[in-house]
Amino acid sequence: MTDASRSAHDAARALRDLALVLRPVLARPGRLVASVLGVAVGVAAVVSTLAGSGAAVSSLGEDVEMLAGPSVLEVRGPGGVPTAALEPLRPLCDEVLLVPVVEDTVLVAASDRRVRVLGLDLLADRRLVEAGVRTGAAIDDAAGARELLFGTGVLVPSGLAEELGAVKGGSLELTIHSRRSDVAVVDVFDPGRLASPWADTLVADVDTARELFDRGERFDRVEFVPREAATSGVEALRERARGLLAGTAFERLRVEPPSTRRAEGERMVSALRFNLAALSGVSMLVGVALVATTLATSVVQRRERLALMRSLGASRLQLGLGVLGEAATIGLVGGAVGVARGSIGADLAVAGVRGAAFSIAPRATGTEVRFESWWIGLGLALGLGSATLAALLPLREAASVPPIQGLRSERPRPLRARGHAIAWSAAFALLAIAAVLLQLPPIGRRPVYALTATVVVMGACVATTPSVLDAASRLRVGGAVVLRLAQAGLSSSLGRASWATGAVAIAVGLAIAMTTFVGSFRRTITEWTEDALSADVLVRSSSVDGMRPEAARAIAAAATAGDVAFYRESPAWFGDATIRLGGSDFGVMAAHSRTPMVAGGATRDVFARALREQGVIVNEPFARQFDRWVGDDVTIEAADGVLAARVVGVAREYAGQEGRVYVDAARYAELVPDPTVASIALFLPEGADAGEQRERMARAVPADSDAAVVLRRELITEVMSIFDRSFAVTVALQILASIAAALAVVTVLGALVRERRFDLAVVRVVGATRRQVTALVLGEAFVLGAVGAAIGATMGVAIGWILVAVVNVQSHGWSLSFVPPWVALCWTAAAVVPACLVAGLPPAYEATARVPREVLRENG
Amino acid sequence: MRTVELLRATALVVLALASSGASVQDGYDVVRRGVELAYPRDHGAHPGHRTEWWYVTGQVEDASGRVFGYQFTIFRVAIAPPLLATERSKQVYAGHFAVADVEGRDFRVAERLRRGGTPLARASVEDLDVVLEDWRVVRAASGELVVEAGDVAEGIAIAFELRPEKELVLHGEDGWSQKGPGETNASAYASFTRLASRGTLSIDGERREVSGTSWFDHEYGTSQLGEGVVGWDWCGLHLDDGRDLMCYVLRREDGTLDPRSSGTLVDADGAARHLTSSDFEFESSGTFTSARTGATYPDRFRIVVPSASLDLRLVPRLADCELTTGASTRVSYWEGPVQVSGSAGGGGYLELTGYAGTLEGRF
C-alpha cells in the first residue's frame, strides 16, 4: 500500500468513526436542534451582552492606547493641565515632544450621534501619520490649513463622514455645552485599518478643540512623545518630569503612562460588564441543564442498544466516549450558532446596555458593534465546556448501563429515606456555603463571591428536586387515577424527571430573581426620584456637556418666582480614584431640597450644617466605595486646589455609581475654574405656577442652545423611562431562559414517554382511551411544572434578595429596598404550569400516535 | 487619495502662508525709513510684523584648540495680521540649531516647530527673551546674552553666555535695512557683532568647556525681498584687527546682484559704517554639491571693500554644512564657519540661500 492510499484509507476510517459517533445524534434531528438551540441561546446571551456592553462604552478604555500612539507618558490633573504647567516641563523637550491634547465628545446635531473629538497639535504631532491615517491633499491648500490651524476646521474619518453626510468643504453642526456650533470639514480622511479608533474620531487642532470645549488656559493632558533615539527610559523620564514639577504650582499634576487612563476607563466599566456577563452567564446554566437532559434522554432511549453493545464487548469507556462525542458535537455547533446569534443580538444589547453604561460614563461615545474574532473562540469554548459539563451525569448513566441480561430485571427505583436525607443535606450544606460567601467582600467592585453564592443557592434548590418530586409523586390529592398514574410514572423515572424539574426551577428562579431585583430597584428609584428631584423646574442641556454660563444666567434670570440653584460638576481625584465634584448653592438647597440622606440627619439640616461648617456631602457610592461616612475627613484634588473637609451627610443617589462629593457653590468656584453649568433648579413657593415659569425660562433659552426646560413630573417620567430601557436586557434574558426551560420540558417528557411506551401501551390495551393517556402525560407535565415552579419561586426570591441586598450594594454602592415580588410570583406560577402543560402536548401526541399492540410486539 | 504626512504638509503650508505674497493679508505692520528702534524693547518680538528672527552664530574652541562652529536661530512667523488676530495665537515659531565639528568633519542639525501661545513657544515684547521648547535666547540683567539649545536625538547641546564687546549696531539707515525697491521692502536689522563667548558644548554626551567669538542678529519685517530675488549670500566676519564685517548680496533670477545688497563695517572701537552695494564686491567661485539635496553651492569667496583696504578670502572650514529643514521651515541652505585670509585674517559665519530652490516670495 502506498503512502497516499494509506492516508486515504485512514481518512475514510476516521470519517466512518465520526459518523458512528454522530449517528445517534443525527438520528434525532429534532432533539439535536433543541439541544443545539439550548447551548446557542446561552452562548448568544453571553456574546451579545459582552459585545454590547463593550461597544457601549468602548471609548472609555479600549481606544486609549491606540489613540495615544507613540506617547509614552502623559501629564494629567483634575480639571486638566494649565497651559502654564508647560513652562517647568520645557527642559524635557530635549528628549520628548510635549504634545498638548484636548479630548472630549460631542453630539452631532443632525444624527443624535455622539462622537469623540481629539484635539491634537497638528503642527507638531506625528501620531496621525504613525497611526497610518491617510488624509487627502486638502491640507496642501492654504485655506484648509488656515481653517484647521486657526479656524474651526476638523478632519472627519471617511466612514463617519458618510454616516453623517459630511463632505470636504462642507460643515458639521455639533452640540457642545448645549450650544450648537458649526465646524468646517477641512478633509475626509481614511482611518486606515478597520476598527481603528480613528474611525470614530473627529480630529481637530488642539486650539480649536480648546475653544470648542471652553477649556480656557488648560489642556486635558500633555503627552510625551519621544524624539528619535531618545536616551533615557520611561521611568527615568517620569522621574525627571516629576522632579521638574516638584516645588512648582503644578506639583499635584501626575505623570503616568497612557495605560493608566485606559485602566481607569476599564475600571469604570468593568463592574458593569462583569455584572452583565454574570447575568448572561446564568442563562448558560439553563443551557447546561438542557444539554444534560438531552444527552440523558439520548442515553435512556438507547439503553437497550447500549446494553446490547455492552453484551457484545463494548467497554464502559467506549460508551462514555460516545456520549462525550455527542456532547462535543452539540457544544460546538451550539457555540457556533450562538456566536452568530450573539453577534446579531449584540446590536440589540447595545441599546439596552447603553442606558446603564451612560449612567456610569456620560462621556462614553458608544460604537457600532463590530464582529471580533475572539467571539468565535469564546463561543466554542462556552459551548464545548457547557456541553461537556452537562454530559457528566449522562456519562455516568451510560457507563452504568448493565449488559442486556441485567437490563431485563431492572426496575424503577423510588427514592428511599437515605436519598431524601442526602438531597436535603446537600441542599443545607450548599446554603451554608452560600451564607459564608455572602459575608466576603467584593473583589474591586466585582461581587464575585455574592454572585457565586447565587449559583450555590441555585444548586441547593436543584439538589432538593429529587426529594420534592418524590414527595409530590407520593402525595395523594384525590381519587383521580390519571394523576396517580402520572405520579407513578414520574416516580419510576425520578432521575430524568428531576433534571427536567431542575431546569424548570432554574428558569422560574431566574425569572423571579430578575423580577425581584428589577422590581425592588424600580420601587426604590420611584421613591427616590419623587424626593430627590424636588425642584419644580429643571434646566439642563440635551447633550451631557452642560451649559455655558452666559446662557444659564439668561435662562435663570427669566424666572420671576422662587429660588434658583445652579449645579456644576467636574472631575476630581480622591487619592488615586477619579470622582466627581459637584457644587450647588447650599443655602437654596437647605431651604428646599428633599434629597434623601443615608446618614447625617434630615436633608435640610445636612445642607445647613454643611454650609455653616464648610463641610461636604458625599453620595452613597462614594461613602461605600471609600468607607467615608459622616464625621470622616476627605481630601479632594480639584482643578485649582485641594479641598479638605469633613463629611456632614451621605446622600442617597442612584443617578450613577460614581462617587460624588458636593460642596457649596462658592467653594466650588474656588476649586474649579470651569464655569460650565450642568443644570439649573428652580424651587417655587407653594401655589406658584410651574408651567408659567417653565414657559418664561424656555423663551429665554438662546437660539443656539439646546438647553431644555422641563417640569419635575416630566423629568421623573423620563428617569423611569430610562430605567426601564436600561433593564430591557434583563427582560430579554428572562425570555431566553424561559425558552430554554420549555425546550427542556419537551425533551424530557418525550424521553419519559418513549422510555415508558410499553407501560403506556399496556394502559391503552387494558382500556384507557387516547384522551386518558394524553391526560396521563399532561399530568406528568403538570407535576413537573408545579414542582419546578415551587422550587424556582423559592430559589428566585432567595437569589433576588442576594442581588438586591448584597450584589447591588457591592457593585454599585446603592442600597435598595427589598420588595418581594408577590404579584410576579403569582403570575409566574400561573404561567409556568400552563406552559409546561403545553410543552407536554408533543410527548402526549407521541404516546397516543402508535398502535398499542405494535408497541407491545416490539417489546416482546 | 494619497498619503500625506500631515505634520510636514502643515508646516509647509504654514510657512507658505506666512511667506507667500499671494496669501498675505493687509494689516501687518511694515518697517519704513526712519524707523525708531528703542532698546531693550526692540530686542523683543514684533508680532505685528510677519517674520522675525533671532540669529546667533559663532566659532568656539575647547581647551585643546578643537574648533566648533554653531548656529542657533529662532524664527517667528505671524499667520494673520494683528487686526484679525483673536485670542488664539497666530504665531508660529521655528528653530534651527547646528553644530559643526571642524576637526571631526561632523555637522549636526536639529529643528523645532511650535505654535505660539504657550510657554513652549513665546517671545517677550519687552526685551530679548525668546523660547522655543527647550531652546532659549535671553538677555540677562548683566547685558549678557544667554543661549541654550540641545537635542538628545542629534546628541548636541550648547549653553553659552555671550558678552557684547561692542555696542549694538543698527544696519542700513539707523536700522532700516532696505532689501527691495519699495520703502517697505525692508527689515529692521540690528546686531551685536562681537560677543565674547564662553560656556559648554556637548556632542554625544561629551561636554566641553569652550570659548570664542559669536555674532547676534535680530531682524524683523513684513515684505522684504524684491521681485526676482532668489536668494542671498551673507556673512558675518570677525577680523583679527578687531573690525567686524557684515555684508550680503541679494542674487537675482537673471544672475545679477540686486542693488539693495549691502553691508556694515564695524571698527574695533564699535563705530559702524553702512556699505552700499557699490562700496564692496562679493565674488563667489568653486562648487560644493550636496549629496542630500543635489544643490550646488559655491565654496570660495572673495570680498573686497576698497574704502577700508580689505581684500578678504573666505573658505568654509567644513564643506558640508547644509541644513535641510524638512520638519520646520522646509528650506535647505548652507550655513557654516569660514576661515578668513587675505588683507586680514579672522573667522566668521557664511550663509548661502536659494541654491536648493528659490526663496522668491518667502521673505
> What's the distance, CA A551 to chain centroid?
37
B7 to A139: CB separation less than 8 angstroms, yes or no: no
Among positive and negative, which fits the CA dihedral A104, A105, A109, A110?
positive
User: Could you tell me the pLDDT band of residue B140, with boundaries at 50, 70 and 90?
Assistant: very high
Give the Å distances, CA to CA, from B284 to A12, B233, B235, B249. 89, 9, 12, 11
Which position has the higher pLDDT, A381 or B279?
A: B279
User: Could you tell me the pLDDT band of residue A820, with boundaries at 50, 70 and 90?
Assistant: confident
Mean pLDDT for chain A overall = 78
Does residue A351 carry a pLDDT above 60? Answer: no
What whole-number distance in Å separates Cα of residue B233 and Cα of residue B298? 10
Region A682-709: mean pLDDT is 89
What whole-number distance in Å separates Cα of residue B75 and Cα of residue B96? 8
The answer to ipTM > 0.95 is no
Please write the tens of the pLDDT for every residue from A362-419.
444 555 556 677 778 878 888 888 778 777 767 776 777 677 655 554 455 667 788 8
Is residue A855 a contact partner of residue A757, using CB atoms and an 8 Å limit?
Answer: yes
Sequence-separated (6 or more) residues with CB below 8 Å from residue B8: B326, B327, B330
**Shortest CA distance from B16: residue in chain A:** A142
Per-residue model confidence (pLDDT) at position B346:
97
Residues recorded for chain A:
860
**Shortest CA distance from A141: residue in chain B:** B13
Please write the tens of the pLDDT for every residue from A479-516.
567 777 777 777 777 776 787 788 778 777 877 887 78
Does residue A162 carry a pLDDT above 60? Answer: yes
Chain B residues in contact with A140 by the CB 8 A cut-off are 4, 9, 12-13
Best mutation site among B23, B133, B154 for testing chain A: the one with the most A CBs within 10 Å?
B133
Does residue B37 carry a pLDDT above 90? Answer: yes
A86 to B79: CB separation less than 8 angstroms, yes or no: no
**Residue A619, H or E segment:** strand A616-619
Looking at the partner chain, which of A124, A129, A211 has a beta carbon nearest the beta carbon of B88?
Answer: A211
**Shortest CA distance from B134: residue in chain A:** A91
What whole-number distance in Å separates Cα of residue A654 and Cα of residue A723? 10
> What is the pTM for the complete model shown?
0.66
Please write the tens of the pLDDT for every residue from A271-312.
556 656 665 665 566 666 666 666 666 666 666 677 777 777
Does residue A12 carry a pLDDT above 90? Answer: no
Given CB atoms, is B5 within the 8 Å cutoff of chain A?
yes
A90 to B133: CB separation less than 8 angstroms, yes or no: yes
- Closest approach of B110 to chain A, Cα-based (Å): 10
Given CB atoms, is B11 within the 8 Å cutoff of chain A?
yes
All three cell numbers of A496: 430524568
Phi, psi values for residue B181, rounded to 5° = -70, -30
B134 to A145: CB separation less than 8 angstroms, yes or no: no
Window B:82-101, CB contacts with A under 8 Å: 87-90, 92
Please write the tens of the pLDDT for every residue from B72-116.
999 998 877 765 545 456 788 999 999 999 999 999 999 998 888
**Longest CA pairwise span in chain A (Å):** 102
B7 to A231: CB separation less than 8 angstroms, yes or no: no
Among positive and negative, which fits the CA dihedral A658, A61, B120, B17?
negative
Please write the tens of the pLDDT for every residue from A430-459.
999 999 999 998 887 778 898 889 889 988
User: What is A794-842 written as a DSSP string?
Assistant: HHHHHHHHHIIIIIHHHHH---------HHHHHHHHHHHHHHHHHHHHH
Given CB atoms, is B16 within the 8 Å cutoff of chain A?
yes
Lowest mean pLDDT among A280-294, A833-847, B54-68, B69-83: A280-294
B7 to A126: CB separation less than 8 angstroms, yes or no: yes
Give the Å distances, CA to CA, from A264 to A93, A395, A504, A811. 28, 46, 41, 16
Chain B residues in contact with A84 by the CB 8 A cut-off are 119
**Shortest CA distance from A96: residue in chain B:** B152
Does residue A329 carry a pLDDT above 70? Answer: yes
Region A15-42: mean pLDDT is 67
Give the Å distances, CA to CA, from B29 to A77, B52, B127. 40, 12, 19
Per-residue model confidence (pLDDT) at position A266:
60
Give the Å distances, CA to CA, from A600 to A328, A647, A823. 58, 9, 35
Chain A residues in contact with B23 by the CB 8 A cut-off are 142
User: Could you tell me the pLDDT band of residue A554, with boundaries at 50, 70 and 90?
Assistant: very high
B134 to A140: CB separation less than 8 angstroms, yes or no: no
Helices then strands (H, E): number in chain B? 1, 25
- Closest approach of B274 to chain A, Cα-based (Å): 39
**Which position has the grid cell 546667533?**
B56
Sequence-separated (6 or more) residues with CB below 8 Å from residue A580: A569, A570, A571, A572, A658, A659, A660, A661
All three cell numbers of B251: 542674487
Residues recorded for chain B:
363
Per DSSP, helices labelled H in A391-493 are 392-399, 404-408, 417-439, 448-463, 465-474, 481-492
Is residue A247 a contact partner of residue A99, using CB atoms and an 8 Å limit?
Answer: no
Lowest mean pLDDT among A252-261, A281-290, B196-205: A281-290
